[in-house]
Structures are given as structure tokens and as C-alpha cells.
Structure 1
Amino acid sequence: MAYEMIKPLLFKLNPEHAHALVECSLRALSASFPGALSFLAHKYIVDDESLRQKLLGLDFNNPVGLAGGFDKNATMIRPLSALGFGFLEVGTFTPKPQEGNEKPRLFRLVKQESIQNAMGFNNEGAEKIALRLAKTYPFVLPLGVNIGKNKITPNDKALEDYFTLFRDFKDLCDYFIVNISSPNTKNLRELQNDDFLNTLLEEAKKITSKPILIKIAPDMKIDDALNLCENAIKKGADGFILANTSVDYSLLDNNRTFGGISGRLITEKSGIFFKEVAKILFGKTLLIASGGIDSADIAYERIKNGANLVQVYTALIFKGPSLVKNINQNLIELLRKDGFLHISEAVGVNLK
């Protein structure tokens, strides 16, 4: 109820200004009123044995995580954990600080409960963020670090950017996410190829023993995505996030043909992409579903189609801080309705 009162005021602000206000508020709350985090945790965290899983050697209290892009500089880890997430992903981080693309670059599509963004990996850079993370890690929740190359780094030099980031954060996270699928860094998606991933994974495994996940685009052809993923598994990839934002501008009712689309507009597209890829990959690797998930029903469908975990982001903007609690509470009911005692029984049930 409280968010429904605040939301109209936030939505009158420029989207980036609104995000900055939320970030400042959460940071201030965490720093000045530590008791407030306990209050939020009591209000939003769903603690139920049926949702707990051990994956990648990590304990996940529930399957709902925060996708990369919300906490770009790892400044909100503690307050975000109080909102009931089972795991958090921070970033995308690049070796050097960068401002991102020109503004305006973030647009709300309110009627469609979606976002169109062309942010471009704006972040404070590895050195500053690593110092901040060193004060937080290890954390009470599994913490993933999303890494990408700098805009000024040509693709033929991109490997060194990723290797630098593996070295900088190998002792400051629980797993890595290799972002080669954002549409907002020119030619980045060209790195979604076997040669690049083969070399990256072979060398990364020498740098870190932490699990490495690959985040891919929902706009890939299914066969291409499967070939890429199956080859990456052979080279040591520990899992995949399916998927990033979409550049299918036919989904829009505006003329902005740039950036990536997230939210309800890509629910169907992301769901189909996940289902088709999971048909082949399920049981071979860890699968995290992302893209257009804003309810327990959608999350549960992805889980039954093979998702070990799910991630949300855009829905948090439109539905507010009770989103994760509502998804988890309703997931418990959906599991019980189908006669499952534990979420692991539901994972991939549609594929068995």
C-alpha cells in the first residue's frame, strides 16, 4: 500500500533521478537506521524450507534473485537483502569507470509495465567498487558479480578486460556472470561466439575457482544459443542466465529503435526462448530464468520448464518492494497445490 502511494511521485521524476533517489534512500536507511533493516527483513523475508536449495555449492533461501543492472555500483547490497531476495547480482562492472551512453537513455513504458534502456554499463569502475565490496563480502546471501568490457575496448582486446575483472573480484563474490549480451555496448553481442567463450573460460578457470555463468540474449536463434551453451559447458561454464533484454522493437508502440526492452513486453518472448533452450540444457547445467517475470505464476512456469532460479528487476520498479515476498508466498501455495513438498520436485517437471 505504501509503495502505491509513493509510486506516482517517483514516476513524475526522470527514471534515472527516481532510481538515484531510491538508492540514496536505501543507503541512508542502512547507514543511519540499522534497526530499519531488521524491520524490513521481518516484513518481507519468506523463510520456508520448501524453497531452500543448495546449488553451485551455495545456499539459496529462496529461488528469487535480483538481476544485474539495479545495483550497478554495489551500494545497496544490505538494504536489498532485507527485501527478501534469495540471491543478489550486482553490476555490470567494467575495469575502468565509465559514464555510459548519452542521455536520455532510460524510458518507462508504463502501460506495458516495461522499460527501454540504453544505459551502457555506467559504473564507477573495478578499483573503487572492489574496495566497497571488500567491506561487505562475504555476505549472508549468494552474491554474483556481473562483468563486462569497457566501451572503449575493441572486441579483439575484450578478453583482457574480462580477465582483469576476474582477478579483481575473485575473492569478493560467490559467482561471476559474464555479460556478452547487452545491446547497449556497441558490438558486444558479437562476443557471443565459441572462439571467444572458449578462450575466456579456459583462462578464467585458471584465475578463479568461483562458478562462472554466461548471460545470453533472447534474440539469438535457438540453435545458435544451444550450440553456444553446449560448447561453453564443455569448456567449464557452470550455468546460464536466460536471458538479457531484447532488441525486438516490433514489441514497441514507439519509434525508439535503440536499447534493450525488459518487463512485461518480453514475458512471452523470454518464456519461449527459455523453454526451447531448457529442453536441451536441463539437467546439464544450472539455469536461471530472467525476463518479464513479475508474478509467482510466471516464475513457477519457468521453474517447471527447467529454471533452478529466477531473477526480477523491471517488475520491482512497477510493483514495489513487496514483489519478492508475494512471489515466494505464492510459490509455496503453487507447490502445495501440485503436491510438491519441495521446489526441487517442480524444477523441470514439464520436461520429465
Structure 2
Amino acid sequence: MYRLLFSLVLCRFDAEAVHHATVRLLAVLSRLPVVRKAMHRVLAPHDPALRVSAFGVHFPSPFGLAAGFDKDAACVEALSALGFGHVEVGTITAHAQPGNPRPRLFRLVRERAIVNRMGFNNSGAHAAARRLRRTRGVPVVVGVNIGKTKVVPESGAIDDYVTSAKELAPLADYLVVNVSSPNTPGLRDLQAVERLRPLLAAVKEVTDATPRRTPLLVKIAPDLADEDVDAVADLALEMGLDGIIATNTTIRHSGESGGLSGRPLKKRSLEVLRRLRARVGDRLALVSVGGVEDVDDVWQRLLAGATLVQGYTGMIYGGPLWAYRIHRALSRRLLRHGASSVRDIIGRTAA
């Protein structure tokens, strides 16, 4: 039914307008306790076999929503109620900013992909912190993804990230330093190890000082050369980070400028995951994102060594019950393979 609705109605409207309408609807659902609790009871993952722990945080399942959908932490409860095992909000910047000029979000329906050049449009760290302080009516693991404010020069990037971290790290189950979006000028240059080290050190000082030590991860681009992937992995181990999220969108595509997500990213995202697993083993939590469409993709990423898997574009084409269907199929597959827990299969093909 959703596919019919998408092909006949939704795809005829501007992609960003549909996105904003969806977030507003979910924000309303987040404020309706009876509805969200009923949805959570039916759609959220409750199978004990799906439970997994990463960097000291307990997740009801390994599959969650990647950053980019809920940029302002407006609807985390509704997204949890739809079945996501965790919700990563953002990217959030220290200061509110409108993002890049519209149009800036484009569907590539045949490729099951999206191109965006949003530019970190969000209401800023202070506004997001205010929302995250609200009492949650349903359980939800929330990661917070932070990036650089566009108008801040590169020389001020560290202070800018630290400002966001001070606001948001105490409220996050884990914090992500995003240096891999292609839509903020100069941001990807921060992935170079000599520039990344002082940035991560400054943010880590903040996360280490929170009352329960907020786990810190870094998100990297799929367009890094293999030797640069290795260098970031080595740096993460050296600095005692808690994990790496691989990967962000790619700029290696034709058509509209911006970052490409969805099916075309599947192959490279899996390659980067396997390279990271070979480099770090199980010493870091690896979060795989990029081209995840169904339970086969989730299963493959777990076997390759991901502790957690994320998706976003797949929901655009799969509809609101996408996460619920993946979790139901994942539970069945575990049973079929005689695995009592998802933990039993993580890294099986990487061993």
C-alpha cells in the first residue's frame, strides 16, 4: 500500500516538503502518550535475541535510524515507536542555520537513492538540548550527531564542536563527530588525521567529563582512500574512541551536486566496514550505514563485523513499517540459523 501511495502521490511532491510534513506528523505523535505507547508495544523490537550492547549502552536491537532524518530531535519517541532500535539525531551545529538554498533534496527512484545538499539545516544545539531534556514516554536510545557551523571558519572548528558537545553530550546516549558531510565547505578536510586528532581530543575531553562518560564516535566518508580509512581507524584506537560510523554519503556520482545515499552506496559501505573490521577487530564498535535496504543487508553487515547497523534512505522507499519488518525478519533468521542471540553472528565472516 505504501509503495502504491509513494508512486502515485508522494513522489509527485517536493521531497523536502514531504520530509518536513512527515517530521511534523511524527512530532505530534511523540506528544500523544496513548498512541505512541500503543505503537511501541506493537512495532518496537521486543525479542530478547535481538538485544546487543555497544560502548556500554544497551540496545533493544542492532538496527537503528541514521542521522539526517530527525535533524532537531523533534520526534525521537515516535521513531522509536515505529520500531527503530536507536535513533541518531542531527546533524546539529552549535548555532542555528538555514542550510543551503532550495531545492536541495532529490529522489532517484530508479536507483532507490537520494541526493541531498541540505547543509546542516537545524535549530542549533541549545534548541536540540531543550527537546532532549523532555521526559521520554517510551524507551529510546538516542545518539547525537554534531557538525561544524557553516559560517565558522576552519580555524574555529574545534571551539564550535566543543560548544555543541557541552550542550548535548550530557543528554546523549552516545555522541558522534561528523567530519564527513560533503555539504559544508571544508568539513571533509577535517578527516585528515593531523587535523582530526586535536578536534577529537577536545571533544573527548567534554564527553569524558559528563556524569556517566558519554561514548564518542566519529563518522567517516565512503570516499576516503583505503590508507586514510586505516589511518582514521588507528587514530580511533590510539585515542580510545568508542566506535566509528561508516559511512556517510558519497560525492562520487553524476547529476545534482550533493551527497548520494541509498542503494548505489551499498558496495563501498560494505568494503569500508570490512576494512575497518580487519584493522580494529572487536576493539571498537563499528556502525555500518549506507545502502541498507532490507534484512539481507542488515544480516550481511552483522556478519562482516558491525555491532550496529543504520538506515535512512531505505525508509523513504520502504515506508513507516520498514524497521518493524526488518526486525521481524531478523528474529526469524536468527531462529533459522540456530542463533540464540544476534551477538552470536557479529563478525562471523570476519573471523
The alignment partner of 2:297 has SS state of: helix
Deviation per CA, 1:195-236, whole angstroms, max 9, x where unpaired?
222212322232222110000001111121111121122112
Query: Cα deviation per residue 1:268-319 (whole Å; 9 max; x = unaligned)?
Result: 2212222222222221200000000011111110100000010010001100
The answer (yes or no) to whether the contact 1:63–1:308 under 8 Å persists in 2 is yes
Q: Paired residue for 2:210? A: none
Question: Please, which of 187, 211, 230 is the counterpart of residue 215 of structure 2?
Answer: 211
Contact 1:205–1:236 under 8 Å retained in 2: no
In structure 2, stretches of 5+ residues that fail to align are: 208-212
CA 1:46–1:127: 2 relative to 1, 3 Å: closer
1:181 aligns with 2:185: no
Cα distance in structure 1, aligned partners of 2:124 and 2:181: 17
Q: SS at the partner of 2:106?
A: strand
Secondary structure at the aligned position of 2:88 is classed as: strand
Corresponding residue number in structure 2 for 1:232: 236
The equivalences for 1:226-305 within 5 A come to 226-249=230-253, 252=254, 255-256=255-256, 258-305=257-304
* TM-score (norm. length: structure 2): 0.94
CA-CA distance at 1:139 after TM superposition: 7.1
What is aligned with 2:21?
21
Measured in 1, the distance between the counterparts of 2:63 and 2:135 equals 21
Q: Which amino acid aligns with 1:134?
A: R
Tell me how far apart the structure 1 counterparts of residues 182 and 121 of structure 2 sit (CA, whole Å).
14
Give the whole-Å Cα distance in 2 for the aligned partners of 1:170 and 1:275: 29
Amino acid at match of 1:25: L
Are the equivalent residues in 1 in contact too, given 2:273–2:286 (CA < 8 A)? no
CA distance in 2, matches of 1:76, 1:168: 19
What corresponds to 1:102 in structure 2?
A: 101
* TM-score calculated relative to the size of structure 1: 0.94
CA–CA separation in structure 1 for the residues paired with 2:73 and 2:110: 30
Aligned counterparts of 2:79 and 2:203: Cα–Cα separation in 1 = 29
Counterparts of 1:20-99 in structure 2 under 5 Å? 20-31=20-31, 33-99=32-98
CA distance in 2, matches of 1:206, 1:268: 35
Other structure's SS at 2:292 match: coil
Matched residue type, 1:72: K
Change (3 A) 1:189 1:128: same
Task: Give 1:96 deviation, angstroms.
Answer: 0.8
Q: SS of the residue aligned with 2:282?
A: coil
Cα 1:277–1:56, aligned 2, differ >3 Å: closer, same or farther? closer
Structure 1's unaligned 5+ residue stretches are none
**3-state DSSP of counterpart to 2:23:** helix
Q: 3-state SS of the aligned residue for 1:176?
A: strand
Find the counterpart in structure 1 of residue 115 from structure 2. 116
**For 1:95, what is the secondary structure of its paired residue?**
coil
Percent identity, please.
38
Letter in 1 for 2:251: V
Q: Number of residues paired by the alignment?
A: 345
Q: Quick one: which amino acid aligns to residue 221 of structure 1?
A: A
CA distance in 2: counterparts of 1:189 and 1:213, whole angstroms: 16
RMSD of aligned Cα (Å): 1.6
- SS of structure 1 residue aligned to 2:12: coil
CA distance in 1, matches of 2:28, 2:141: 23
